[in-house]
Structure 1
Amino acid sequence: MVSVTDFGDFGNIDMDRLIDSMDQQLSKSEELQKAMSALVGRGEDEGHLVVVEYAHEGLRTLDIRPKAMRLSAVELSERIKAAIEEATADLQRQADELMTEMFGEAGNPLRMMENPDRALRHVRKAEASYERAFEDVMGELDRIRRELDL
């Protein structure tokens, strides 16, 4: 008969701790999703004639002051684009701050995308850890199979 101690480290897994950790991650994920949906980036042109709000669903508001109607179509278009760029940059900044607050500087997924080489190193490190764990599990299962003469 095989006892729990025959499973090596697997027999010592604290299931309550594992479940609590999973619950915390799920809660953090839900909290992040809710917080991200509440972010609103704001921007305006240099003359304050065009004001924009940009959120996760896209352009939320575009306010054009009456005085802006005196501008040429090209100039008004440029001011609208500048306000949208400022609003999207503001939204990105807020998302970056939120991710850093929740995951820390090193774990911020947005920062990882800024440096693909660094992100690739993290992926390779995780892959190596996975491969080691897989080999350990397979070795342990093979040892159990031999002990049980299967």
Structure 2
Amino acid sequence: MNQKRLTFIAILGSALLLLGALGFQYLGGLPPCKLCYWQRYPHVLAIIFGIIYSYTSIGTIVFIPAVAAFSSAGVGAYHFGIEQEFWPGPNTCSSGSINSMSTDALIEQIMSAPLTKCDEVLWSFLNISMAGWNTIFSAFLGLLWISLFFIFRQKQSAD
């Protein structure tokens, strides 16, 4: 497969992940939590710098979408671990213990709480949540961007 086609597939992958998340949010009625948003932002960077990479001859710029994809995968893995109760999530994003909280602190937490908690799984497929699927696909996209760098280097050394 050629470099342009792989670049297009990598950009399309991030775009489809974003569109899927927005579809679940706006069409499916599944409100995202704070970590869900954090998984989206790197894909925007990957798309922007992927487009820049596809129109320039700057090979090292490909590391920006690679790092972005791996960042989204990392946040997704962290989020998935919270959902599976491997570790606790941020206090502002998880259903934590209220035993040691004062009444005023509890009321403040309730009033400032986001609509969706990070430890709640709103949708899953094959027992893997959206955060888990994002982890898998984002890690794959990160590897694809790294392979594009090596293709670029090989092409440069051949010229």
Give the structure-1-normalised TM-score: 0.30
Q: Which has the higher contact order (CA 8 A, sep 6+)?
A: 2
Structure with greater strand share of residues: 1
Structure with greater helix share of residues: 1
Of the two, which has the highest radius of gyration? Answer: 1
